[in-house]
Structure 1
């Protein structure tokens, strides 16, 4: 694994992006891809696609910050790829979750018109989660919270950033983002359905989200072009939510401080005299 790491934190973006900065538009693009995942009509492929999109976004962010590929383990930690509920944790040992997903899939096929609003709500939720994740990881990179070890393995910094993001998302009220996204997506059902089918076929072919293959970049570029008008509207709208973004950053900063203080306390308790 390359040892490339930023010699210093990347410069923070303008605190209140207008939605035109490349990094902000790119985070919005990946959030939009995540929002397509609930529309993929194949059980389990939607979850695989969501994880792929989030890991690719984070891989791209960290690679851009360091000028070299980050450790896959750090990407997985930040994306929450190994987290899950009790049912997801016993995936290989029980059949409850697969059965539930199969039932939901069949119900959707029969009552697709009735459930379209439910599916749209899921699209908005996945978009919101992924946008917040990407935005806060960019903010963390600007602050230097990840540290050089993130390019070498699943570092303490990666875990602390992940926990701080989780606490931030538990604390904030994401309605400004969700309402804006919901209004924007409602008139684009046909475009979203078509794009979700393309995404599903692409993910099913199995390229790694950490792949450096030119084909991955070409496919992502095609997706961005296909969704460009919708992406422009979302990026401008989200960038205009300056008060919300200020609150989001401040909430993360407070959560990170708690994480860092807890880590320092644990290190102190293991200092001189702690060994038997």
Structure 2
């Protein structure tokens, strides 16, 4: 009987995969910002940072801004974290803190998972696209960035992301960051606002990233299928 292949040492994994995973985790933590519109701004920054990282990785220019925004999907998608917190804080049910906090925490985890999953899928497929040579330097100002983005969105829509989302849910549900923020939001008499991250939080982001990389390796078959869907959709858009 053939022995199953074990996960390779960290240093043997593509370095770009680590950066995509890190920025997906960072994106997934943006709903923790309990300030309306600031969470959206932070998400856009994280997504565009991922695009800039990948363009640099493949020796492509980091401009024009419109191409970066298009590839990052900055024109779509908003987090619900800050607005959800603002709305729920004003509800009459707020005195029932113990039960309400539990319900809110579940919703917050889902928000983090959805945002991280979207960033991870987009980052992974964009890296795949750049490795294939789907985007040349002289195409950044044309229609190609939009075609690549639309092909990524279409490919993601065709696959059930539950295997990835379940892995992310396990990561975020046990996150000390989420627990700390939920406690701060529901047991503080003052409205929560921006604060300075502690060293422990930076360490946790690193830990979450490492665990996500391990999960990605376990689900590599899913991503091979995802790539094939992307390839089909981009080919159709090029032919149109």
Same fold at TM > 0.5: yes
1:236 corresponds to 2:223: no
Q: SS of the counterpart of 2:35? A: coil
Per-residue CA deviation, residues 203-261 of structure 1 (Å, 9 max, x unaligned), is: xxxxxxxxxxxxxxxx9xx9865522221111111122121011111110111111111
More relative contact order in 1 or in 2 (CA 8 Å, sep 6+)?
Answer: 1
Aligned 8 A contact 1:28 1:231 in 2:
yes
Alignment size in residue pairs = 210
Identify the range of structure 1 (227-236 vs 185-194) with the bigger mean alpha-carbon deviation. 185-194
Q: 2-side partners of 1:39 and 1:29: how far apart?
A: 16
Choose the corresponding residue for 1:130, options 119, 123, 127.
119
Compute the TM-score of the two structures, normalised by the length of structure 1. 0.67
Mapping for residues 86-97 of structure 1, pairs under 5 Å = none
Aligned 8 A contact 2:30 2:39 in 1:
yes
The corresponding residue for 2:137 is 148
Choose the corresponding residue for 2:62, options 66, 69, 72.
69
Q: 2-side partners of 1:179 and 1:18: how far apart?
A: 24
Identify the range of structure 1 (105-114 vs 67-76) with the bigger mean alpha-carbon deviation. 105-114
The corresponding residue for 2:87 is 106
Aligned 8 A contact 2:70 2:149 in 1:
yes
Q: SS of the counterpart of 1:119? A: helix
Q: 1-side partners of 2:83 and 2:201: how far apart?
A: 28
* Deviation for aligned residue 1:201: 5.9
Q: SS of the counterpart of 2:102? A: coil
Aligned 8 A contact 2:25 2:208 in 1:
no
User: Kindly tell me: are residues 108 and 179 of structure 1, through their superposed partners in 2, closer, same or farther at Cα, counting changes over 3 Å?
Assistant: farther
> Unaligned stretches of 5+ in structure 1?
1-15, 89-97, 195-199, 203-218, 263-276
Per-residue CA deviation, residues 148-193 of structure 1 (Å, 9 max, x unaligned), is: 2255x3x221111011011111111111100011112221233775
The corresponding residue for 1:10 is none
Compute the TM-score of the two structures, normalised by the length of structure 2. 0.76
1:251 corresponds to 2:229: yes
Per-residue CA deviation, residues 58-111 of structure 1 (Å, 9 max, x unaligned), is: 011102211643322110011122246xxx9xxxxxxxxx9xx75752305744
Aligned 8 A contact 1:39 1:193 in 2:
no
Q: 1-side partners of 2:230 and 2:166: how far apart?
A: 22
Q: 1-side partners of 2:113 and 2:233: how far apart?
A: 25
Q: 2-side partners of 1:55 and 1:63: how far apart?
A: 12
* Deviation for aligned residue 1:26: 0.5
The corresponding residue for 2:163 is 176
Q: 1-side partners of 2:236 and 2:214: how far apart?
A: 33
RMSD: 3.1
> Unaligned stretches of 5+ in structure 2?
1-6, 95-99, 182-193
User: Kindly tell me: are residues 193 and 18 of structure 1, through their superposed partners in 2, closer, same or farther at Cα, counting changes over 3 Å?
Assistant: farther
